[in-house]
């Protein structure tokens, strides 16, 4: 099977996914491999994003899970505290896992527990000043790295891509929320 590229396609640089799609079209002309055009690129980009995230967090002495818990608290706004249950919902982990994570973050001086004044049996988890500074710096570094990943797209292209990806993700997000 011969694949014809239009004039517009000839001007674009080819990436690894183009080579993959071409090979599959030759080997399996009976299959529609068009989904690879989008999803293989999303998968490859996700790997680059994962590397950027790990590097940003490592530079600030954080693991992915630590960043997730600290940012959930930071996003909560002053006084940067949530119940362990709210942290569970924000990070989608089990109760035992969250308890372990809070213990480890408290031992590192990044969060502290205090009694919940509304519920005598409950506790609240809050960011310490050190935790806030650490997560703020890691987040700023992450955003810089993410901007670098998107540098090949203009502002309008980024907005268009964000809209298209949102359209694809909304049904999954609705399912995930219903499952928890």
Question: Could you read off the pLDDT of 108-154 as tens digits, one per residue?
Answer: 999 999 998 988 888 999 999 999 999 999 999 999 999 999 999 99
Which residues are CB-neighbours of 56 under 8 A, at least 6 positions away?
A: 138, 141, 142, 144, 145
The 10s digit of each residue's pLDDT in 6-56 is 555 567 788 999 999 999 999 999 999 999 999 999 999 999 999 999 999
Q: Which residues contact 74 (CB under 8 A, 6 or more apart)?
A: 80, 127, 132, 135, 136, 139
Task: Say if residues 21 and 3 touch (Cβ distance below 8 Å).
Answer: no
Please give the torsion angle defined by the CA atoms of residues 66, 178, 174 and 135, in that order, rounded to the nearest 10 degrees: -10
Question: What is each CA distance from 93 to 14, 96, 100, 169, in whole angstroms?
Answer: 40, 8, 11, 20
> What is the model's pTM?
0.81
């Amino acid at each position: 099977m011969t694949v014809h590229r239009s004039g517009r396609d000839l001007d674009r640089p080819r990436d690894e996914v183009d080579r993959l799609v071409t090979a599959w079209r030759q080997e399996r002309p009976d299959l529609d491999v068009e989904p690879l055009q989008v999803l293989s690129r999303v998968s490859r980009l996700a790997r680059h994003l994962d590397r950027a995230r790990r590097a940003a967090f490592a530079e600030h002495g954080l693991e992915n899970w630590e960043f997730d818990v600290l940012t959930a608290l930071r996003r909560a706004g002053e006084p940067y505290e949530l119940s362990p249950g709210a942290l569970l919902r924000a990070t989608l982990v089990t109760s035992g896992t969250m308890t372990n994570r809070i213990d480890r973050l408290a031992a590192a001086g990044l969060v502290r527990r205090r009694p919940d004044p509304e519920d005598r049996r409950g506790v609240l988890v809050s960011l310490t000043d050190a935790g806030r500074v650490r997560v703020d710096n890691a987040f700023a570094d992450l955003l810089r790295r993410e901007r670098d990943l998107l540098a090949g797209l203009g502002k309008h292209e980024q907005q268009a891509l964000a809209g298209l990806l949102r359209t694809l993700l909304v049904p999954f997000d609705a399912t995930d929320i219903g499952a928890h």
